Amino acid sequence: MQSSLYVSLSSQVALARRLDTVARNVANMSTVGYRADEVKFSEVLSKKGPDAISFANGGEVYISRQHGGLTRTDNPLDIAIDGDGWLAIRTGAGIAYTRDGRMQMGTDGMLRTVNDYPVLDSGGLPVMLDPEAGAPTIAADGAVHQGENRVGTIGLFKIADDAKLARLDNSAVIPDQPATPVMEFTHDGIVQGYTEGSNVNPIREMTKMIELTRTFDSISKMIDSGAENQQKAIRELGESS
């Protein structure tokens, strides 16, 4: 009886964590460049006692790298990434990477994100424009021109597939491995005048939320039923003895 209770409780812990990620995804489904949270579950076996008992662990949360859809804005300071690359930005926590390509040019000419982080080139330096030279033209390889003059290059970076990502400011991430500059633009590039939306699928996430809530309620009822049966057994055994 106690084993079934512990297994049920472990399932509820795992479901509660999954519900948290779904709620966070739904809240950010309109956040530009947002990458959804997913949970990877595994089985935990306990061999205390004569029989092995299978528990659900809390789950490992990871950030999905699936692409979001592109939206045309025609703003010359908006860029989206075609491929798996990331933009590099300098933050108070160090260099981070984002797919949110909404930029603004400061009075000093520095390109910054909407959260005021400097956008970096492939060498890790801020991209500087001429604030008096008009709107820039940005090529697929990140080359930035104002008129006939090339004034800088926006860096595009690759993050290793096995790198773990920590979230920063919703759309930005910090990998546990160094990112490397993209040198070949056959499969990766920058698209000017577009932004990339969240990769959250609203219908899928709402369906998950309904299913998880129902499962959580079912387990709660099972726990209550098990507790009632245990109390009934104690009463009846006590009376018969």
The mean pLDDT values, 10 residues at a time, for the chain of 241 residues are 54 73 91 90 47 54 92 97 96 96 94 96 95 94 95 96 92 96 93 96 85 71 60 59 51
pTM (whole model) above 0.85? no
Domains in the chain: boundaries: 2-64+201-240, 70-196
Q: Which residues contact 195 (CB under 8 A, 6 or more apart)?
A: 32, 33, 70, 71, 73, 78, 79, 80, 100, 101, 102
